[in-house]
Amino acid sequence: MRRKPLLAVLLAPLFMALIAVSVINVALTAIGESLDATTGGLQWVISGYALAFGMLLVPAGRAGDATGRRRMLVIGVGVFTVGSLLSGLAPSVEMLNVARILQGLGSGLLNPQTVALIQQHFRGQDRARAFALLATTVAVATAVGPVIGGALIQILGPDQGWRWMFLMNVPIGIAAIIGAFKFIPDDRARGRARPDLDPLGTILLCLAILGIMLPFLERGMSALVWLSFPAGLLMLGLWWAWEQRYKRSGRPPMVDTAIFANRAFRNGILIVSVYFLGATSVWIIVPLYLQMHLGHTAFEASLMGLPSSIAAAISSQIAGRYVLTLGRRMVIVGFGVAFVGLLGTGILTQFVENGTVPFWFLAAPLMFMGLSQGMTISPNQTLTLNSVDPRFGGVAGGILQLGQRTGAAIGTAMIPGIIFSLTEGGHAWLEAFTIAIAIIMALTLAAMAVSFADRAREKANPGAL
C-alpha cells in the first residue's frame, strides 16, 4: 500500500469540502444579487449545509466502520460533487439551498471516513504526521477559500463568479473518486450477513442533532424555534436509552455508549467542543467590528485571517512531530498561546479604535490564534483517537467532529448575538467587542482546565500514549 497517494486521496475531498465552507461568506452578496434572494433564503445557504453535515457525521462513521470506509468515502464524494454541480447551475435560491443540503450530506458522509482511514492505515508517529497534514489542509483551505472566491467574482463578475466557486469542485471530486478506487484498499465486508446499522438509533440521533443545532443556525428565530432545543435534548436522552437497550439485546448499536467511559476520549471531546464554542467566533466578530463599526471593506477584513492561517499550517506540522512525546502538555501550551492572542487583540483594539495604530496591526495578535490552532486541534485529535480501537475509528471520528460542529454552531450564534444585543442596547461597539473577547478568553481557559485534568490522567497512566 502506497501511503502518500492514499493520504493525498483522503485530503483532496476534505480540502474541497472546506473550500465550499470558507468561500461562501464572500459570495453571499453576489448570490443575493444574482438570484434576487431574501436574507432568509441566503441564511439557509449556510445553515442548510451545516445542519446536513452535522446530522450525518456519527451515522456515516458507523456505516463506514460496518460496511466499508472506502465505499462510504466514494459515496460521500459523489454526493458532494453532484451537490456542487447543482449549486453552480442553480436557477433560484431555493434550488441552491437544496443543492447545498446535498453538499452537506456528502461532506457529512466523507469526513468521518477520512479520519477513520488515517487511523486505520497509519500508526504511531506516521499517524501524528498524517493528522498534522490534515490540520494544514484545514488551515490552507480556510485561508485560500475567501481569496479564491473574491478572485472569481472579480474576474467573472457577480453572476458567474459564485457559480464557478461550486463548479470548480466537480473535476476535483471526479479525480478523488478515481484516486480512491486506485489507492485506498477495498475494505468491504464480504461473505457476511447484511450489517445491522441500528436504523432507529440513527433516526433518533439525527433528530436530536437537528433539534439542538437549529435554534443556533436560525437567526432572528421565533420563540417557537427555540422549543426545538429542549426537544432535541429529550431526543438525545431517548437515543442514549435506545442504544443501551439495543446493546443489551445482543445487537450492535450505532454507538456503543461505553466509549464515553473512556476518559481520554471523553476529555478530548469536551476540550474541542469548549474551544470551538469560543475560538471560531473570533473570525466572525473581528470582521463585524472592522466592517460594521470602522467601515472597512470585506476584502480588507478577510485579510486579517491570512497570517493566522499560515501560522496554523506551520505550527500543525511542528506539532505533529512532537505530540506523542509531549502529549497534553502541547495542547495546554496551545491554549496559553490562544489566550495571549486574545488578550493582545482586546488590548490592541483600544488603539485601533482611537486611530493610534492602523487596523491591520490586529493581524499580529490574531496570528497567535493560528499558532494555537496548530497546537491544539490536530494534537487533540491524535491524542483522543489514540485511545480508541481503530475498528471504531469512524464512529469515534464522527463524534469528535460533531463536538466541533456543535460547539462552532452555538458559539458563532451566541458570541455575535451578544455583540448585537449590547450595541442595540446602547453600549459602544468597542465595549461590546471587548466583552465578547473576554467571554472567548474564559472559554479558552475552560478548555485549558480540562486539558490539565487530562494531563493528570496521562501522568497517572504513562503508557497511555
| Residues 99-124: tens digit of each pLDDT | 999 999 999 999 999 989 998 888 88
As a whole number of Å, the CA-based R_g of the chain is: 22
Residue 310 Cα to chain centre, angstroms = 18
Residue 324 CA to residue 113 CA, distance in Å, equals: 23
The average pLDDT across 187-211 equals 83
Quote the DSSP letter at residue 293. I
Instruction: Note whether 1-197 and 259-456 share their fold.
Output: yes
Q: What is the pLDDT of residue 92?
A: 94
DSSP state for residue 305 in the 8-state scheme: G
Q: Which of 135-149, 368-382, 420-434 has the lowest mean pLDDT?
A: 135-149
CATH number for the 1-197 domain, one of 1.20.1250.20, 3.30.1330.10, 1.10.1380.10, 3.40.50.2000?
Answer: 1.20.1250.20
Cell of 213: 443545532
- Asked if pLDDT for residue 90 goes beyond 60, the answer is yes
Angle CA(320)–CA(323)–CA(123) in degrees, nearest 5? 70
pLDDT (0 to 100) of residue 430: 92
Length of the chain (residues): 465
- Whether the predicted pLDDT of 259 surpasses 70: yes
> Is the pLDDT score of 93 beyond 80?
yes
Is the pLDDT higher at 291 or at 131?
A: 131
Boundaries of every domain in the chain = 1-197, 198-253, 259-456
Would you state the pLDDT for residue 190? 64
Class of domain 259-456: mainly alpha
Coil/strand/helix, residue 389: coil
DSSP letter at 122 equals -
Most confident of 216-220, 256-260, 296-300: 256-260
| Contacts of residue 176, Cβ cutoff 8 Å, sequence gap at least 6 | 9, 12, 13, 16, 77
Confidence of residue 222 (pLDDT cuts 50, 70, 90): low
The model's confidence at residue 1, banded by pLDDT at 50, 70 and 90, is low
Distance in angstroms (rounded) separating the CA atoms of residues 420 and 413 = 11
The 8-class DSSP code of residue 255 comes to S
Number of H helices, E strands in the chain: 18, 0
Distances (CA, A) of 360 to 300, 304, 367, 368, 378: 8, 7, 12, 15, 28
CA 79 – CA 62 distance, rounded (Å) = 18
Q: Is the pLDDT of residue 465 over 60?
A: no
pLDDT band at 237 (very low <50, low <70, confident <90, very high): very high
Q: What is the pTM of this model?
A: 0.84
Over pLDDT 90: what percentage of the chain?
Answer: 46
- Give 405-425 pLDDT, tens digit per residue: 888 878 877 888 888 888 888
What is the CA 71 to chain-centroid distance, rounded? 23
Closest to 400 (Cα-Cα) out of 262, 279, 203, 282? 262
**Residue 312 to residues 222, 297, 315, 370, 437, Cα–Cα distance (Å):** 38, 25, 5, 4, 20
Does residue 191 register a pLDDT over 70? no
Cα–Cα distance measured from residue 372 to residue 280, given in angstroms and rounded to the nearest whole number: 12
What's the mean per-residue pLDDT of the chain? Answer: 88
What local confidence, expressed as pLDDT, does residue 221 receive? 59
Give, as one character, the DSSP assignment of residue 193: P
Predicted confidence (pLDDT) at residue 98 exceeds the cutoff of 90 = yes
Helix, strand and coil in the chain, % to nearest 5: 85, 0, 15
* Greater pLDDT, 309 or 91: 91
Residue 219: the pLDDT is: 59
Q: How far apart are CA 134 and CA 140, in angstroms?
A: 10
Give the confidence band of 218 by pLDDT, cuts at 50, 70, 90.
Answer: low
Matching residue, cell 497567535: 368
pLDDT of residue 393: 83
Q: At residue 351, does pLDDT exceed 70?
A: yes
> At residue 326, what is the residue type?
L
Q: For 120, how many CA atoms within 13 A lie in the half-sphere containing its CB? A: 26
Rounded to whole angstroms, the Cα distance separating 290 from 440 reads 18
